[in-house]
Structure 1
Amino acid sequence: MTEINEADPSILVGRTIFLVEDQAIIALELQYELESAGARVVGPAHTLAKAEGFARRGRIDAAILDMDLRGEDSDPVAEILTKRNIPFLIHTGHGEETDLDARYPGVPVLVKPVRSKQLLRILAGLL
Structure 2
Amino acid sequence: MPKTIMLVEDELLVAFDVQDIIEAQGFSVDGPYISVKDAVAAVTAQLPSCAVLDVRLQDGEVFPAADLLEKAGVPIIFHSGHADASDLKRRYSKAAVCEKPCSPAALRDTILELLAE
Secondary structure, aligned partner of 2:26: coil
Q: Which runs of 5+ in 1 are unaligned?
A: 1-12
Alignment TM-score, normalising by the size of structure 1:
0.85
Paired AA for residue 64 in structure 1: V
Partner residue in 2 for 1:5: none
Higher relative contact order (CA 8 A, sep 6+): 1
Contact 2:75/2:94, CA 8 A, preserved across alignment: no
Alignment of 1:43-58 (within 5 A): 43-58=31-46
Q: Contact 2:77/2:95 (CA < 8 Å) preserved in 1? A: yes
Once the two structures are superposed, residues 64-121 of structure 1 have per-residue CA deviations (whole angstroms, 9 ceiling, x without a partner) of 0111102511110110001111111111111211111111112111110001121011
Q: Is the 8 A contact 2:35 2:59 kept in 1?
A: no
Residue matched to 1:27: 15
2:77 corresponds to: 89
Where structure 2 has 5 or more consecutive residues not aligned to the other structure, the ranges are: none
Q: Within the alignment, does 1:80 sit opposite 2:68 as a pair? A: yes
**Mapping of residues 1-127 of structure 1, within 5 Å:** 14-70=2-58, 72-127=60-115
Q: Deviations over 1:27-71 (max 9, x none)?
A: 001111211211100000011111010011214110101111025
**Contact 2:70–2:92 (CA under 8 A) maintained in structure 1:** no
Q: Percent identity?
A: 31
| Aligned Cα root-mean-square deviation (Å) | 1.3
Aligned residues: 115
Misfit runs of 4+, over 6 Å? none
Tell me the equivalent position of 1:9: none
| Aligned-partner Cα distance in 2 for 1:78–1:113 | 21
Change in CA separation of 1:19 and 1:117 when aligned onto 2, cut-off 3 Å:
same
